[in-house]
Amino acid sequence: MRLPKFEYLEPTNVKEITSLLKKNADAILVAGGTDILPKMKQRIVTPKFVINVTKIEDLKKIEFGEKKGLILGSLATLDNISKSKQVIEKFTALAQAAGRIASPQLRNMGTIGGNISIESMCMYFNQSHEWRKGRPHLCFKLGGDRCFVAKGSKECLALFQADTPPALIALGATVTIVGSTGKEKIINIEDFYTQKSKKVNILKPTDFVKQIHIPTPPKGTKSCYLKMAQRAAIDYPIAGAAACITISGNKCKNAGIAVTSVGSGPLRLKEVEDILIGNSITDELIAKAADAAYEKIRPMPHFNISAWYKRKLIRVLVKRSIKQACI
Amino acid sequence: MKQLIELKVNGESYEAAIDPHRTLLEVLRENVGMTGSKEGCDLGACGACTVIIDGKAVLACLTLALDARGKEITTIEGLAKDGKLHPLQQNFVDYGAIQCGFCTPGAIMSAKALLDENPKPTVAEIKRGVSGNLCRCTGYTKIIEAIEVTAK
């Protein structure tokens, strides 16, 4: 499959990205290209301009300081994040999530900014042009009038399956977005997602993600991300769960729990956190918390995975991730 | 509009006039004439097009040729020296890790990137290192064996 024709632009600094995005409507940013180039080959997106941002070295940084926390430039590769000593030590869930994405080659190319901004995936959407043309109706995500995931659904139900967002939510990350005026906006990563499959995140066509910041976790904090997939590599999760637990004086002082691949966006499970916070962590409490996760989520069946299986799996993953974060 | 670019492949420089929408894989195969890197799925799932750019194994089918300007590109053609196969290539042959041969260039490039970074990998690390390369003849055991022997 060939890429569609486009005009190629190569900015050398952050300011230039904003001006190029403003000047050229129908432009798309390409960094790793591992998600967008296949979609262009399949003619799902056919932009007039492609803006290659990989020459901007500033955005590739992975910096850590006790006071300022962890700063990840949006172009930091998933491989570098998963192998960074400080990330492994202090932000374990993120290193685990980044290290389980796709394959070594794709991790060398893919960036954290791209991974958090990834679109939802669907077997009725991520297909070749010929495949889609052969079907009598289009789905919501392609501008049509129906959803093939669940018959009769009034909205798109494509599944959000990125690995790093639940880890970032559990760790309390914030995202810096640069808007069309060049002004920076810092938001909690949870607010970055709309929980709607048709447009997963709040980015406008002229916005881009500049960096991600995670505050240094307090003493006694550990985190863990667990992913269940059909294959060990090159696969999206059937379900994934991240837990970040702070223990102080035998009691759970703070908790962050988030799951992915169960709906239209990564989901923070406040109910589960509330069960843990303020109590000493015992096996019974963890089981109660996992049951709360099981009750909270409302997954749709996707591919050959039933909703029933997903809910049971989330219960297990939440339980194990909390346990591992407490060891 | 076509642009004149210079690519540094296996230590030698090549010039080509190309459109911006051409991938590195297309340019390597069609303009440079190196057909060792294979086009499998062309969507980033199979690893048959793996090349090494600046020391990292990446997929040529998802790299824009314009983006590869000024970078050090190594393909399967760059491994054999003076008519003698690279130890990895020789061991792939000796241990029967080539069946139909289509995934072999990609698997060898992944293995090379792994051994360059970690000369003594464990079996688990080898499996992880070549996990991005699908072999539809399913000869994985032999591929892992060949890499293990090379590392010794």
Domains of chain A: 1-55 (3.30.43.10), 58-117+159-214 (3.30.465.10), 221-326 (3.30.390.50)
Which residue, chain included where needed, has tokens 């050229």?
A: A24
Query: Is B108 near chain A, with CB under 8 Å?
Result: no
Whether residue A113 has pLDDT greater than 80: yes
B53-61 mean pLDDT:
97
Contact B64 A33 (CB under 8 A): yes
**Does B118 lie at the interface with A, CB-CB under 8 angstroms?**
no
Residue in the structure block whose two tokens are 């056919």: A46
Q: Say yes or no for a CB contact (<8 Å) between A10 and B66.
A: yes
Within an 8 Å CB–CB cutoff, is residue B50 touching chain A?
yes
With contacts defined as CB-CB under 8 Å, which chain B residues touch A32?
62
For A177, list phi and psi in degrees, rounded to 5: -110, 135
A5 with B56: Cβ contact below 8 A? no
Minimal CA–CA distance to A126: which of A141, A105, A113? Answer: A141
A109: contact with B, CB 8 A cutoff: yes
Give percent of chain A above pLDDT 90.
Answer: 91
| Residue among B27, B59, B62 with most chain A CBs within 10 A, to mutate | B62
For residue A44, pLDDT beyond 80: yes
Percentage above 70 pLDDT, chain A = 100
What pLDDT, on a 0 to 100 scale, did the predictor assign at position A218? 95
Q: Write down the pLDDT at residue A151.
A: 86
pLDDT for the residue A150 = 87
Torsion of CA A271, A277, A282, A288, to 10 degrees: -10
Q: What value does the mean pLDDT of chain A take?
A: 95
- Cβ neighbours of B24 (radius 10 Å): 28
- Is the pLDDT at A37 greater than 90? The verdict is yes
Chain B interface includes A3 (CB < 8 A) = yes
The whole-angstrom distance between B126's CA and the closest CA on chain A is 11
- The DSSP output letter for A3 is P
**pLDDT (0 to 100) of residue A183:** 94
> Helix, strand, coil % (nearest 5) of chain A?
35, 25, 45
User: Average of pLDDT values for A60-89?
Assistant: 97
Partners of B21 on chain A (C-beta within 8 Å) are: 2-6
A63-77, A301-315, B57-71, B79-93: range with lowest mean pLDDT: A301-315
Our CA-based measurement puts residue A136 at a distance from the nearest CA of chain B, in whole angstroms, of 25
Q: Residue A142: which pLDDT band, with cuts at 50, 70 and 90?
A: confident
* Beta bridge partners of residue B17, listed in sequence order: B4
Q: What is the mean pLDDT of residues B22-28?
A: 98
Average pLDDT over residues A10-31: 95
**CB count, 10 Å around CB of A181?**
9
What domains does chain B contain, in order, with CATH numbers?
A: 3-76 (3.10.20.30), 87-151 (1.10.150.120)
Cβ-Cβ contacts under 8 Å for A223 (sequence gap 6 or more): A91, A92, A93, A94, A167, A170, A171, A217, A242, A243, A244, A245, A256, A325
pLDDT at A327: 82
Q: Which contiguous run of DSSP H or E holds residue A71?
A: strand A69-73
ipTM of this complex prediction, to 2 decimal places: 0.96
Q: What is the pLDDT of residue A143?
A: 87
Among the ranges given (A134-143, A207-216, A250-259, B29-38), the one the predictor scored with the smallest mean pLDDT:
A134-143
Rounded mean pLDDT, B57-72: 97
A37 with B113: Cβ contact below 8 A: no
- Write out pLDDT tens, residues A222-276: 999 999 999 999 999 999 999 999 999 999 999 999 999 999 999 999 999 999 9
User: In terms of Cα–Cα distance, which of A87, A141, A76 is closest to A114?
Assistant: A76
Q: Is the pLDDT of residue A303 over 80?
A: no
- Over residues A174-225, the pLDDT tens digits come to 999 999 999 999 999 999 999 999 999 999 999 999 999 999 999 999 999 9
Mean per-residue pLDDT for A30-39? 96
pLDDT tens track for A94-108: 999 999 999 999 999
- Cβ-Cβ contacts under 8 Å between A and B: the total is 85
pLDDT above 90: residue B37: yes
Nearest-CA distance B103 → chain A (Å)? 14
What number is the average pLDDT over the span A50-56? 96
Residue A1 has pLDDT above 90, yes or no: no
Q: What is the pLDDT of residue A267?
A: 97
Mutate which: A105, A126, A236, vs B, most B CBs within 10 A: A105
Please give the C-alpha separations between residue A245 and each of A89, A219, A250, A259, B28, in angstroms, as whole numbers.
14, 11, 12, 15, 49
A98 touches chain B (CB under 8 A): no
Q: How confident is the model at residue A170 (pLDDT cuts 50, 70, 90)?
A: very high
Cross-chain residue pair A37–B62, CB shorter than 8 Å? yes
- The pLDDT mean for chain B works out to 96
**Residue A138 CB burial class (10 angstroms; 0-12, 13-18, ≥19):** middle
Taking CB atoms and an 8 Å cutoff, what residues of chain B touch A49?
A: none
